[in-house]
Chain A
Amino acid sequence: MSSSIGIYASQISGHLVTNNYSSIQTVTVGSGGASSITFSSIPSTYTHLQIRAISRSTISGSGDGTYVQLNGDTGGNYAYHILIGTGSSVVAASATSYTYMYNGDTPGSTSTAGMFGAFVVDLLDYTNTNKYKTIRTLNGNDQNGSGSVRFVSGLWQNTAVVSSITVNSFNGAGFAQYTSFALYGVK
């Protein structure tokens, strides 16, 4: 038996309070590429932030890393842990006193055209001045025979309100066309 329906506007029901999750800003990379992605002047009117993204690096290779810095801080105030599913094993890694939070991997310029990595990043209690800031990322890039899935936690050892988020690719390679990062606020 198959259960199948078409979707029509009349079937939309409001059992979720939808005004508690709002789109704040989106950066979509054009044909010239982008060296980094920055969200600035982030409003402090939400409780949590979420970034949803697809990404591809311009690096000469089939894969590249990405990392996050908050409020433009490039000091050694970050730490992170990663759990990586490589397709054949699970490995873990961590770093402390780093200058960024690692944030997952993405295909590179030699990957098959059209392949992008995906990210869902949660930044919790970003306006709470009594807490260091924690992020959690679920990331994956499957390249039909290579790639990985990654679960990341990151720490910024600073109690400041987060007003800007910058995402970079490793080696400064930058991001390719159609890369898109969307920032959402959660109340």
Chain B
Amino acid sequence: MTAGSTYTPIATQTLGSSASTVTFSSIPQTYTDLRFVCSFNSSSYAVGGLQFNGVASGYSTTYMYSGVTSQRLTGQSKIPFQQGTGPITQSNTFQLVITDIMNYSNTNTYKTVLWKTGNPTTTDYPGYEWGVGLSSSTSAITSITFDSGGTNIFQTGSTFTLFGIAAA
């Protein structure tokens, strides 16, 4: 039985100005899973979500929202977070999204993603969400785009960090 240290930060982006999308490209293929940790606030509500390799089709999702509602979506242009782009009017309040992208370089499997997110505001779509997303592609993931779903919705100070987790 071998043991090796892992859970490595690959790259971080902190927005110095508002942005519509955030992209991590040239992702190394040396890990088993990716964990994408995002902390952001928004200028308006939109349905944000993830695209892989710049492909805008072939995504589906099943999620539950605040423990009381569940929905399934197919034929999507991204894996959507219905909890979306969070805190709008409350300053210094950020929404957290943690996404696990499993076996991202395995070309024998479609890519399955687990995420959890929470919007802590009292007024702007508060709640939490757990979901599973599917990218119906066997291509290795070399780039990830977090599309805010609108124009310049992600606000200054929002941070996005990609980690790599390597199995023995």
User: Residues of A with Cβ closer than 8 Å to B?
Assistant: 1-8, 11-16, 18-26, 41, 43, 52-54, 83-90, 112, 114-118, 120, 138-149, 151, 177-178, 180, 182, 184-185
A23-B167, A114-B108, A180-B167 known; A43 vs B1 contact (CB < 8 Å): yes
B45 contacts chain A at the CB level, 8 A cutoff: no
Q: Are B108 and A149 in contact (CB under 8 A)?
A: no
Instruction: Report the minimal beta-carbon distance from B53 to chain A, rounded to whole angstroms.
Output: 14
A139-B61 Cα distance, complex, nearest whole Å: 13
Interface hub of A20, A87, A142 (most chain B Cβ within 10 A): A142
Q: Which residue of A lies closest to B23 (CB)?
A: A4
A184-B12 Cα distance, complex, nearest whole Å: 24
A-B contact sample (12 more), CB < 8 A, given A52-B33, A90-B64, A114-B109: A7-B25, A8-B26, A12-B8, A23-B166, A23-B167, A85-B64, A85-B70, A86-B62, A142-B133, A144-B60, A147-B72, A178-B106
Instruction: Report the minimal beta-carbon distance from A66 to chain B, rounded to whole angstroms.
Output: 14
User: Residues of B with Cβ closer than 8 Å to A?
Assistant: 1-13, 15, 17-28, 32-33, 60-64, 67-72, 74, 100, 102-103, 106, 108-110, 112-114, 116, 130-134, 136, 138, 152, 154, 162-163, 165-168
**Which residues does chain A contribute within 8 Å of B21, judged by CB atoms?**
2-4
A52-B165 Cα distance, complex, nearest whole Å: 10
Instruction: Report the minimal beta-carbon distance from A23 to chain B, rounded to whole angstroms.
Output: 4
A116-B110, A180-B103 known; A90 vs B13 contact (CB < 8 Å): no
**Which residues does chain A contribute within 8 Å of B60, judged by CB atoms?**
142, 144-145
A142-B110 Cα distance, complex, nearest whole Å: 10
Instruction: Report the minimal beta-carbon distance from A153 to chain B, rounded to whole angstroms.
Output: 13
**Which residues does chain B contribute within 8 Å of A24, judged by CB atoms?**
1-3, 168
Q: Which residue of B lies closest to A25 (CB)?
A: B1
The 10 closest A-B pairs by CB, nearest first: A140-B132, A85-B64, A87-B72, A85-B70, A182-B167, A21-B7, A4-B23, A23-B168, A142-B134, A26-B167
Q: Are B2 and A25 in contact (CB under 8 A)?
A: yes
A115-B134, A120-B114, A144-B136 known; A184 vs B71 contact (CB < 8 Å): no
**Which residues does chain A contribute within 8 Å of B15, judged by CB atoms?**
3
Q: Are A141 and B5 in contact (CB under 8 A)?
A: no
Q: Which residue of B lies closest to A15 (CB)?
A: B9
Interface hub of A22, A149, A180 (most chain B Cβ within 10 A): A149
Q: Are B167 and A149 in contact (CB under 8 A)?
A: no
Q: Are A90 and B67 in contact (CB under 8 A)?
A: yes
